[in-house]
Chains A and B, each alone.
Chain A
Amino acid sequence: MALSCRHVWDRISEYIDDTLDPQVRAEVERHLAHCEICSAIIDSTRNIIIFMADDRVFELPLDFSKRLHARLDDILQHEFPELPGISPE
């Protein structure tokens, strides 16, 4: 049975992650071979997914790490980790 565009849209994410059942994947591929619209939708979705994983998109604020470790230092100087069943020092 040939898949409609709507059926393909429902499977885009799993198609990109390669988690579709082989038979369904083959049906999607048959559809893509002649459907320019669905091919473009899949390509653009994949493009966006690749962008999101890039470190440049969600950068750390300037000196974030320095501030984190300074605050941590302060605690490490004065506190031990809590020990279950033993009262703090």
Chain B
Amino acid sequence: MTNAAPVDAMEPASEQALIASILAGERDKFHILIRPYERQIYRTALALVKNEAEAEDVVQDAVLKAYRKLAGFRGDAKFSTWLMAITLNEARGRLRKESRAAFDSLDERSEESGDYTPAALTDWREVPLAALERQEVCALIQQAVSELPETFREIVTLRDVEELSVNDTATLLGISVSLVKVRLHRARMMLQRKLVPQLRLAAKPEPKRRIFGRLSWL
């Protein structure tokens, strides 16, 4: 079996009503509440912990925590933002435990300062979305994101992978809107410099197989 198709987020009012009924005892409805956000929280967890199995553990723990703490959810924030905040905390907690973050923070210092020279390839031609059908192209992008220092991975995942607004991202990370913009710019420039030369090579269409190759003697 594969994963179910993504489920669209509900209207905030129906979501509030759903939360109320779960708290009133219809516990099974919690499944419906979190379905629209599974993909989003998984990708956020993965961006931080960089390992699929561990990201899955983070998601499970975050979802269970959200269920247990549901009564503490205040309707003044969006449920999705609240769930993402729990996920980020879980993921960061694991990073701290493994003290992987110590290495990352060194990278960040050097990345926050330095000037950027983007990859300047004047013969750049847009790589079509169809290139994403090829696993190696997706793998290059995943790899480039995973190699960013932690703060930049977070920002680019929230803004460009999950497409959260600048304001939601700032709230979630507890930083100012202007810092979101500065970090996002740095993260995108790092990705540009790394990915452009790679994508240009990888995205070239494979040469068409010669259908009549075996008949070339004709």
**Interface of A with B (CB < 8 Å)?**
6, 9-10, 12-14, 16-17, 19, 36-37, 40-41, 43-45, 47-69, 71-73, 75-76, 79-84
Contact = CB atoms under 8 A, between A and B. Distances in A.
B1 A63 contact: yes
Contact of B192 (A36, A45, A62, A67): A45
Contacts of B3: 60, 62-66
A83 to B, nearest CB: 5
A83 B70 CA distance: 8
A44 B119 contact: yes
Interface in B116-135: 116-124, 126-127, 129, 132-133
A13 B160 contact: no
B124 A68 contact: no
Contacts of A73: 31
Contacts of A62: 2-3
Given A19-B181, A43-B124, A67-B56, A53 B189 contact: no
Residue of A37, A40, A66 with most chain B CB atoms under a 10 A cut-off: A40
B64 A71 contact: yes
Nearest to A58: B43
B67 A81 contact: yes
Q: At the interface, is chain A mostly helix, strand, loop or mixed?
A: helix
Nearest to B183: A13
A57 B119 CA distance: 22
B170 interface: no
Contacts of B115: 6
Contacts of A76: 27-28, 30-31, 67
A62 B156 CA distance: 24
A57 B2 contact: no
A54 B129 contact: yes
Given A9-B189, A58-B46, A76-B27, A84 B71 contact: yes
B181 A44 contact: no
List 5 A-B pairs, minimum CB-CB distance, nearest first: A13-B185, A81-B70, A40-B124, A52-B160, A56-B132
A41 B119 contact: yes
Nearest to B116: A9
B161 A53 contact: yes
A75 B34 CA distance: 14
30 contacts: A13-B184, A14-B181, A37-B120, A40-B124, A41-B119, A44-B119, A44-B121, A44-B192, A45-B188, A47-B199, A48-B141, A48-B196, A55-B39, A60-B39, A64-B3, A64-B38, A64-B59, A68-B63, A69-B31, A72-B34, A76-B27, A76-B28, A76-B30, A79-B68, A80-B27, A81-B22, A81-B71, A82-B69, A82-B71, A84-B71
Residue of A52, A63, A65, A66 with most chain B CB atoms under a 10 A cut-off: A52
Contacts of A51: 127, 129, 132, 141
B145 interface: yes
